[in-house]
Structure 1
Amino acid sequence: MASALTAIVCSYRRPRNLAGCLQSLTEQSLSDLGILVVGVRGDTQTVQTASDLGIDVILQDQPNGVAAARNLGIDHTEAPLIAFLDDDARARQGWAVALATVLEDPQIGAVGGRVFDTRTGEQVVHPWGVDPFGVTHLLSNADRPKTLVPTVNGCNMAFSRPALRSVGGFDPYYSYYYDETDMCVRLARAGYRIEFTGAATVDHDFADGPTRERFIYSSCRMRTYFSTKNYMKSVGKSRLILEQFRLLRQDYQAFRAGHKEYAGMVGTWTALAELVSGRLTGFLDGANQAIQYGDNARGGSAC
C-alpha cells in the first residue's frame, strides 16, 4: 500500500548534507511517511548514504536539473501527496504532518512552509507572491496583491498528485531556480490554491554544490524564461523586455553576492555578460513556449 505522503530528496554529490536531511525525515512523526532519493548514476556516495538508512534510490543517467529529477521522483511513487526537501536541509519535527494536514483540502494544490538559514538563524522564506516579472513580494506587504500568485520555496514544499497531474508535472527546462514558481502559476491557473503553513519548518544550510556553474547566467535565464513563458500574452513583450532592463542593476548586486568567481575586473565583466546572455536566451526560449502552447505550456511527468 502506498504511503499517504512521500518525501522526495533530489541529491548530487553532497553525502554529508544528505545524511542529515534523511535522518530528519526518518524521525518525523507521520507513521507512514515514504522517503525517496533521486540521485545520478555514478554518484556512489549518494546511493550509499541512502542505502545505509534503508531508503530507496532512483537514478538519473546524468544530472539533468532539478525539475527533471523531481519528475523522475514523482513518477516512481504512488503516494497521493508528494513533498520535496532539499538535500542540504533538515525538517523539524512535525513537518510532514503539517504539510499533509493542509493538503487534506482537495482545493489546495501546493503548500510551503518556513525556512531558516542556518548560517544566520534568519527566517528566509515567508508567505510570498510572485509578479509577472518573476520578482517575489511578501504577501502581507504587497501594494497590489491581486497581481501576485502565491508561491512556495523548492526547499520546503508539498503537492497533491491530482494537482501535479492536472498540469503535467514540472517543466524540465528549469535546471534549478523558478521550477517551483512556474508550478505555482500553472496550478493557480488550473484553479488550485497555494497555501503557506508556519507549522512546516526546515533548517537550510545553503551548501555549495557541483551543479550551479555560471550562477548569474542560469538565474537570469530561468527567471526570464518563467516570465516570458507565462506572461508574454497577458503582459506583452515590450513591457517584459523593459522590466528586464530595469532589473539589471538589482540582479547585478543580488546575484554576485557570495560568489567569488564574480570578484575583480574579470569577474565584473563575466557577471555583466551573463546578465545579458542569460536574459536573451531565457526570453527567446520562453517566447517559443508561449507561442507554441500558450497557457498549456509543458510539464514533464506522467504523474
Structure 2
Amino acid sequence: MTTTPVSATLESGVPVSIVIVSRNRPEALRRCLTGVELLQYAPFEVIVVADPAGITVARDMVFAEALKLVTYDRPNISAARNLGIAEAAGEVVAFIDDDAVPEPLWLRHLLEPAQRPGVAAMTGFVRGRNGISFQYRARQLNALGEPENLDVDPETPSILPPARGAIKTEGTNMAFRRDVLVEVGGFDPAFHYYLDETDLNMRLARAGHATAIVPLAEVHHGFAANAMRSANRVPRDLFDIGASWAVFHRKHLAPQDRAAQWAYLRAAERRRLLRHLISGGLEPSDVPRLLRRLDEGHAEGLKRPIVSTTVPRTTNSPFCPFPARPRRSVAIFTRPIKLARDRAKAAKQAQAGEIVTLISLSPTALYHRVAFDPTHAIWLQTGGIFGKSARDDAVFRLRRRCDRLKREVKRVARQRGFSDDRSR
C-alpha cells in the first residue's frame, strides 16, 4: 500500500550555504551528502571541508561538480568551519555534521525566520540514533555556559531576544546570517573541539542578536565515533574538553569564579566516567587515565592563545547552486515478510526521483526505529503496530493497522513533505 504522492515543488528563499566538516569519517559523509541531495529548497550550495578521504568521497558523488571542496586535515572544527564560511556565498550559512542526515524540508523550516528583524541565528531539533527520540530540543545557556532546557511551541518558530540570554544552537543543526558571522569573527579556533558554538552563542547574545528555535527543522544525528568518543558515546579522550572549558572560562567568567566552576565540572566528568565504568563501557584503569587527560587539557587551555579572528567580508568564491530538484514524497507500507521485496520497490522509486518512506510494521508492540538508508536513499521505519513511536506514547496501545500507518505518515508529514490527509 502506498500513499498518494504530494505534488513536488521547491521552496524558494534566501540563498543558503551549507557547510559540512568531516574528518576520518568518509562513509558518514557519504550518507550525509546523500540526504542533502533530497533537500526541497532553493537556492543552496554545499561546501565540504574535509580530510583527503572525505574529499575523495565527495568527488565520487554524482553531483560532485556542484560541490565546493576544501581540503583540511587538522583536528580543529572551529578553524574548519571558518574555512567553510570563507567560501560561503549565501546570505545564510547553515551547518550540519557529517554523521547527520537532514529531513527533506530541513532548510524550508530552518530558514523561515531568517528575514525577521533582529534574527541572526536559527537552530532546530535533533533526533537521536533511533530516529524517534530527540537528542536535543530547545536550550538556553546560563552565565556559566551550561545548557538549560527551554519550553517552546513544538510546531512553530520561537524568536528569543538577546535580553533573555544566550540561546544554544546545536552544532549539527544551526544557521547564521553570514554578515553577522563576519561581524563577530566567526568561530574561535581556540576551541578545537567542544564549546565552539557555545562560545559563539554567548558572543551573539552580547552583541544584541536574536536566535530562532525552529522545532520542525529536524536532522537525524548518529553520534559516529571520533577520537574523543566511541560510537556509543563512551569517552576516549577528555583533553579537548578540558582545554575548551579553560578557554571558555577565560573568555566568559570573572577570574574569581573560574576555579570553583572548574572543580564543579571536573567532578561532573568524574561521575560520568564512573557511570560508564559501572555499565561496562570503561575499564577501572581508564578512569584515572581520562581524568589525567582532562587535567592536561585544562592546563593547556589556560595557556592557549586567544586572538581575535576574522572571516572575509567578501566570499572567496561565487555562489555555486546545488542542482536541487522538486521531488514527490511517497510512503510505502509493508510487513516484515515482504520487506525485502518492497525495499527493492522503494529503491526504484527513489532512483526515479521520489522521496520514499518505507514503513514496515509487525503485529507486535516493538518500539519504532527510523533510519536513512544511504544505499537506496530511502527512509525506513520499523516497529510494531501497537508499539511506541513517540516518547509520550503508551508502551502498548491497541490500534488498527491502517490507522497506525496513517498516524505515522502524519507524524512526519511536515518534515518529509507529506500533506496530512494523503495516506490511504
| TM-score bracket for the superposition, by shorter chain length | 0.7 to 0.9
CA distance in 1, matches of 2:228, 2:265: 25
CA distance in 2, matches of 1:186, 1:51: 39
Q: CA deviation at 1:191?
A: 1.2
**Alignment check: 8 A CA contact 1:50 1:56 kept:** no
SS of the equivalent of 2:23 reads: coil
Q: CA deviation at 1:215?
A: 2.8
Cα distance change on mapping 1:217 and 1:255 into 2, 3 Å: farther
**Alignment check: 8 A CA contact 1:252 1:275 kept:** no
Q: What's the CA shift string for 1:176-202, capped at 9, x where partnerless? A: 211111111111111111221101100
Moved more, 245-254 or 76-85: 245-254
Corresponding residue for 2:170?
153
Corresponding residue for 2:375?
none
> Are 1:246 and 2:264 matched, yes or no?
yes
CA distance in 2, matches of 1:113, 1:95: 9
Cα distance change on mapping 1:5 and 1:44 into 2, 3 Å: closer
**Alignment check: 8 A CA contact 1:98 1:200 kept:** yes
Question: In structure 2, which of residues 284, 294, 300 is the aligned counterpart of residue 281 of structure 1?
Answer: 300
**Alignment check: 8 A CA contact 1:12 1:46 kept:** no
CA distance in 2, matches of 1:257, 1:68: 33
The 5 Å alignment of 1:88-167 reads 88-119=99-130, 121-140=132-151, 148-167=165-184
Cα distance change on mapping 1:29 and 1:258 into 2, 3 Å: farther
**Alignment check: 8 A CA contact 1:38 1:59 kept:** yes
TM-score (norm 2): 0.61
> Are 1:299 and 2:316 matched, yes or no?
no
Question: In structure 2, which of residues 205, 208, 211 is the aligned counterpart of residue 191 of structure 1?
Answer: 208
TM-score (norm 1): 0.83
Q: Which amino acid aligns with 2:223?
A: F
CA distance in 2, matches of 1:31, 1:44: 24
SS of the equivalent of 1:247 reads: helix
CA distance in 1, matches of 2:197, 2:149: 17
**Alignment check: 8 A CA contact 1:15 1:49 kept:** no
CA distance in 1, matches of 2:219, 2:273: 23
Q: What's the CA shift string for 1:8-35, capped at 9, x where partnerless? A: 1111232221122112211111121211
Q: Which amino acid aligns with 1:220?
A: G
CA distance in 2, matches of 1:215, 1:146: 37
Q: CA deviation at 1:42?
A: 5.9
CA distance in 2, matches of 1:275, 1:75: 32
Structure number with higher helix proportion: 1
SS of the equivalent of 1:105 reads: coil
SS of the equivalent of 2:194 reads: coil
Moved more, 191-200 or 268-277: 268-277
**Alignment check: 8 A CA contact 2:18 2:44 kept:** yes
Rg: which structure is higher?
2
Q: CA deviation at 1:38?
A: 1.0
Structure 2 runs not aligned, ≥5 long: 1-13, 153-161, 230-234, 314-424
The 5 Å alignment of 1:30-49 reads 30-41=41-52, 43-49=54-60
Cα distance change on mapping 1:11 and 1:181 into 2, 3 Å: same
**Alignment check: 8 A CA contact 2:44 2:90 kept:** no
Cα distance change on mapping 1:111 and 1:254 into 2, 3 Å: farther
Q: What's the CA shift string for 1:201-230, capped at 9, x where partnerless? A: 000011113576963121122123113212
Structure 1 runs not aligned, ≥5 long: 290-296
Q: What's the CA shift string for 1:252-280, capped at 9, x where partnerless? A: 23367669998323212112212322223
SS of the equivalent of 1:36 reads: strand
Q: Which amino acid aligns with 2:20?
A: V
Q: What's the CA shift string for 1:93-121, capped at 9, x where partnerless? A: 21111122111124111111100111473
Deviant stretches of 4+, over 6 Å: 256-262
